[in-house]
Amino acid sequence: MTRRVDLALHLVTDDRLDADALPSIVDAAIDGGVTVVQLRDKRVSAAELVRRARVLSEVIAGRVPLLIDDRVDVALAAIDAGARVDGVHLGQNDIPPTTARRLLGTGAVIGWTANTTAHLQAAHAMPHGTLDYLGVGVIRPTSTKADHPPALGIDGFAERAAATPLACVAIGGVVAEDVVPLRRAGAAGVAVVSAICGAADPAAAARAFARGGDR
């Protein structure tokens, strides 16, 4: 079940970036075709994440959904502070998606990382409507997440996507040339970190991914 969200191209913010550079990168990436922005930084305080969420909310201005990685508390605090935050993306070690759904309500977007068959089984056991999509990866080894699971490759991703009715978003080492094969493998979209955040021209990098999805 998706809540009218275009999952085609997720920008996951890179915690190696200077926070001051983030708003302009996000703005340019949306202009280039990013359809979801996920704020992720595991190193900073909750208060700083709330501040960044408020800044990005103003920059995004409702053009695409803004999700918070891992932190339901930050999402709630940012909403309470007046930011437009549309939901969260949760990992296996975060609070249960069922709890997040109760706290955030039926209109929130909730994604969940699911890299194994056991994760898929757990997702399927949740009440209908708990999850909007699954983040599935990694596709290739990536320096963005040092503790990532073994790479699935496109064939491995296809096996996971075929095993669930939930929308699957591919993440981890994805390049623009992967978009078409991943779409054919059942991907509802792709998630990108450094390939856009670290690009000299984030808008052009986003366009390359968006064009790949349209071929």
Q: What are the residue ranges spanned by the domains of the chain?
A: 9-214
Residue 84 assigned as binding residue:
no
Quick one: what percent of the chain has pLDDT higher than 70? Answer: 94
Select from 39, 42, 69 the least CA-distant residue to 54: 39
Residue 39 assigned as binding residue:
yes
Residue 85 assigned as binding residue:
no
- What is the predicted pLDDT for the residue at 4? 78
Residue 42 assigned as binding residue:
yes
Quick one: what percent of the chain has pLDDT higher than 90? Answer: 90
- Rounded Cα gap, residues 101 and 88, in angstroms: 10
Residue 142 assigned as binding residue:
yes
CA 129 to centroid of chain Cα atoms: 18
Stretch among 4-8, 57-61, 161-165, 177-181 having the lowest mean pLDDT: 4-8
Residue 144 assigned as binding residue:
yes
Select from 192, 188, 181 the least CA-distant residue to 165: 188
3-state secondary structure of 67: strand
Secondary-structure class of domain 9-214 per CATH? alpha beta
Is 80 exceeded by the pLDDT of residue 187? yes
State mean pLDDT over 27-35: 98
Residue 14 assigned as binding residue:
no
Q: What is the pLDDT of residues 61-99, one digit of tens each?
A: 999 999 999 999 999 999 999 999 999 999 999 999 999
- What is the predicted pLDDT for the residue at 145? 60
- What is the predicted pLDDT for the residue at 2? 47
